[in-house]
């Protein structure tokens, strides 16, 4: 029973390129969350998605960032025209349903994006 | 706007002794508080949580205490073990909302 799978684990992009980060939730989980951890910082919420729906994108930067969770396949976090400030660890988490209780959801191992 | 704050970023403790991690929050509307543990190059792992209607929750060696009037919670690990060496994040959420607000984390080093 695989956990939350993120790939790639490490991604290097030059300024101006596009970065695509993928997240496959745990089996049976239909809710996906993306968080970003900048150096020396805690995790910051970016977006919450269900299949084919964006539920809460209040943490997403207004430009260059987008996320999707299609009916088939993994969730994708896409960063266009990357800049050095986008260098961070991006974590995906999943849950089987809207988390009403006080149980934490399951995180993947993250994608470490480095912009050079 | 840091709604969850963890000061004293690092802590060293002898194996077998107690580790105490502190967390303060600013938003009195938070309903649940969670602690996550993170090893290098891995994602955070859920450790223990507490509802705002309680003041203590215990799970094995881990106990979380909540003082709502002070907007303060703490995580006690006793006895500390070398495998507990990790970064610990405090997080908070509102009921009915799936967003977690995280603190910056505390590095714990347990010395054998």
Chain A segment 52-91 residues within 8 A of B by beta carbon are 55-56, 58-59, 91
Cβ separation A102–B34 shorter than 8 A? yes
Cβ atoms of B13 and B76 closer than 8 Å: no
Task: Say which DSSP state B82 is in.
Answer: G
Express each pLDDT in B76-85 by its tens digit. Answer: 999 999 999 9
pLDDT at position B99 is 86
Task: Say which DSSP state A26 is in.
Answer: P
Q: What is the CA angle A53-B32-B91, rounded to 5?
A: 80
Please compute the mean of the pLDDT values over residues B83-97 and round it to a whole number: 91
Radius of gyration of chain A (CA): 13
Measured between alpha carbons, how far apart are the two ends of chain B, in Å?
Answer: 38
pLDDT at position A1 is 52
Dig out the tokens for B36 from the structure. Answer: 């996550």
Strand blocks (E) in B1-112: 4-5, 10-14, 19-25, 32-38, 45-51, 56-59, 62-67, 72-77, 86-93, 101-102, 106-111
| Region at A62 (left for phi over 0; alpha for psi -120 to 50; beta for the rest) | alpha
Length of chain B: 112
From chain B, pick out residues whose CB is under 8 angstroms from the CB of A108: 43
Q: How many CB atoms lie within 10 A of CB A102?
A: 18
**Residue A39 contacts B where some CB pair is shorter than 8 Å:** no
Express each pLDDT in A64-96 by its tens digit. Answer: 999 999 999 999 999 999 999 999 999 999 988
Task: Say which DSSP state A32 is in.
Answer: E
């Amino acid at each position: 029973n695989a956990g939350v799978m993120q790939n790639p684990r490490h991604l290097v992009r030059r300024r101006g390129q596009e970065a695509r980060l993928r997240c496959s939730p745990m089996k049976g989980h239909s809710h996906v969350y993306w968080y970003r951890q900048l150096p020396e910082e805690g995790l910051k919420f970016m977006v919450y998605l269900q299949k084919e729906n964006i539920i809460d994108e209040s943490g997403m930067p207004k430009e260059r960032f987008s996320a999707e969770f299609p009916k088939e396949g993994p969730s994708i976090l896409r960063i266009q025209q990357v800049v050095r400030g986008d260098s961070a660890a991006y974590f995906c988490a999943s849950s089987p349903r809207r988390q009403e209780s006080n149980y934490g959801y399951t995180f993947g191992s993250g994608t470490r994006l480095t912009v050079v | 706007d840091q709604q969850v704050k963890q000061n004293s970023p690092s802590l060293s403790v002898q194996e077998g002794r107690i580790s105490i991690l502190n967390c303060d929050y600013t938003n009195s509307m938070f309903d649940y508080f969670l602690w996550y543990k993170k090893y290098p190059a891995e994602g955070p792992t859920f450790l223990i949580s507490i509802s705002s209607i309680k003041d203590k929750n215990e799970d094995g060696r881990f106990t979380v205490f909540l003082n709502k009037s002070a907007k303060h919670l703490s995580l006690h690990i006793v006895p500390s073990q070398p495998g507990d060496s990790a970064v610990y994040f405090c997080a908070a959420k509102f009921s009915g909302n799936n967003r977690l607000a995280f603190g910056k984390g505390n590095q714990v080093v347990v010395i054998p």
